[in-house]
Amino acid sequence: MTALHDARGLFADLTDREPDGVWSAPGRVNLIGEHTDYNEGFVLPFAIPHRTFAAAAARDDDRIRVASTFAEQPVEVSLRDLETLFPTASGSAPAVPEWSAYPLGVAWALRALRADRTMFGVDIAIASDVPVGAGLSSSAAIEGAVAAALAELWALGIDPVTLAQAGRRAENEAVGAPTGIMDQMASTLGRADAATFLDCRTLETRSIPTGFEAAGLELLVIDTRVKHAHSTGGYRERREACERGAGLLGIRSLRDATTADLPRAAALMDDTTFRRVRHVITENQRVLDTVAVLEAEGPHGIGQLLVASHASMRDDFEISVAELDAAVDAALAAGAIGARMTGGGFGGAAIALVERTQVAAVADAVERVFVDAGFTAPHIFTVTPSEGPRRDV
């Protein structure tokens, strides 16, 4: 992994000096619980070894400059400009290049935490190992890395949940992507030995050991390399359908419904809205069941829950694509215990839970199916639960 090195190199090119430090935060995979976060429901993600690095240093003026190996040009504004740039008007694009609204949005959100706003300027250079737009939350990783850097440089003394909330504000209000809090919480609360069970209404969390290693299992990520963007179309529509469904049921959010409410929901709404609602209600139950099975009997028992989650996203929520379905079907046919698409959908990655001895066979089978279908070759790798934001240098 060379992203730490790349962030330092970019910082040197940008400033001709050494950074005060380098901070990083991880991407995440979601084991189960998709599109439940903004419905105030349950999710079970874990942070992955892939990280985004932010090399940063204080400036002696009030300007903030951000650069990324992902972008052609650095972007520089004064700190005071942040309050005129953000929040971005609903439905329009940010007035700065979109990628820069993630780090600048974090600076804006963190600035609001201190009433006197006596922060100084900073230079930040960013590089990442997290594949962008693959459903592994490169967005939470960049937000977390920048938040960790600024929190320390500005001596804000804030906890991981507040860091996560600053990232979410950046994504929702600066970038304009209507995403939930799961990704930021998964990244900032990452632990080397466990997944994070998160109640997205109360923000209560519980660490749930996955037990993969002891059970001789590996979690494979199959990045289809079909890119998605959450600031556009389908994601927003799904979110609106969920709000409409909750309204018709007369509840604050779909979190307040259970599978017992499904017959009533079917009678109250059109078929498409009903299927969106059914996905969320059944997915919340699957997250609770997955936690219960992991705690009672370990990871071998969760395969069918992963498979059912995928079917629900494919058929009811309609956010899968041909590459994701092919990856899941091929992995299961080659012996995976369970498999599902992960992340917001419309592209990105699938996960497969596989016996350690079967990893190569499953990866080969998926690659073969992709060749035969004429799809771009996928990136396939294993991930283990990993730690949250940290200072690296």
> Is the Cβ of residue 144 or residue 245 nearer to ligand ADP in the bound state?
144
Q: By CB under 6 A, tell whether 319 contacts ligand ADP.
A: no
Q: Least CB distance from residue 279 to Mg ion, whole Å?
A: 20
Determine contact, residues 253/246, Cβ cutoff 8 Å. yes
Asked whether position 253 contacts Mg ion by CB under 5 A, the answer is no
3-state secondary structure of 364: helix
167 in Cβ contact with 184 (< 8 Å): yes
Residue type, 303: G
75-94 binders of ligand ADP (CB under 6 A): none
Residues 373 to 392 in contact with ligand ADP, rule: CB under 6 A: none
Range 92-101 contact pairs with CB under 8 angstroms and sequence separation of 24 or more: 92/176, 93/176, 94/174, 94/175, 94/176, 97/71, 97/73, 98/175, 98/231, 99/68, 99/70, 99/71, 100/66, 100/68, 100/71, 100/75, 101/170, 101/174, 101/175, 101/176
The least distance separating ligand ADP from the CB of residue 179, rounded to whole angstroms, comes to: 7
Name which of 44 and 146 has its Cβ closer to ligand ADP. 146
H/E stretch holding 171 reads none
- 339-353 burial: b if 16+ Cβ within 10 Å, else e: bbbbbbbbbbbbbbb
With CB under 6 A as the contact rule, the residue among 105, 343, 385, 388 that binds ligand ADP is 343
Q: Which stretch binds ligand ADP (CB under 6 A): 132-140, 198-206, 293-301, 309-317?
A: 132-140
Interface residue with ligand ADP, options 23, 42, 86, 99 (CB under 6 A): 99
Tell me whether residue 70 or residue 292 sits nearer to ligand ADP (CB atom): 70
| C-alpha span between 71 and 139 (Å, rounded) | 14
E strand intervals along the chain = 21-32, 42-58, 63-68, 75-78, 122-128, 195-199, 205-208, 217-223, 338-342, 349-355, 379-383, 390-391
- For ligand ADP, which residue of 30, 36, 128, 290 counts as binding (CB under 6 A)? 128
Report d(CA 84, CA 78) in Å as an integer. Answer: 10
**Number of CB atoms found within 10 A of residue 260's CB:** 8
227-286 residues in contact with ligand ADP (CB under 6 A) are 229-230
Nearer to ligand ADP, 223 or 281 (CB): 223
**Which two tokens mark 353?**
């839970």
Provide the residue type at 59 as one letter: R
Q: How far is CA 87 from the centre of its chain?
A: 21
Q: Can residue 181 be called a binding residue for ligand ADP (CB under 6 A)?
A: no
| Binding positions for ligand ADP, 52-71, rule CB under 6 A | 52, 68, 70-71
Look at phi and psi of residue 225 and say left if phi exceeds 0, alpha if psi is from -120 to 50, else beta. Answer: left
Binding of ligand ADP by 134 (CB under 6 A) = yes
The region of 95-103, 158-166, 210-218, 298-306 touching ligand ADP under the rule CB under 6 A is 95-103
Cβ-based nearer residue to ligand ADP, 73 or 90: 73
**Among the listed residues 10, 79, 82, 142, the single contact to ligand ADP using CB under 6 A:** 142
What positions carry a catalytic annotation?
A: 183
User: Of 88, 128, 139, 253, which lies in the binding site for Mg ion, with binding defined by CB under 5 A?
Assistant: 139
Instruction: Select the binding partner of residue 132 from Mg ion, ligand ADP, none (C-beta < 5 to 8 A, by kind).
Output: ligand ADP
User: Which stretches of the chain bind Mg ion, using CB under 5 A?
Assistant: 137, 139
User: Which stretches of the chain bind ligand ADP, using CB under 6 A?
Assistant: 52, 68, 70-71, 98-99, 102, 126, 128, 132-139, 142, 229-230, 343
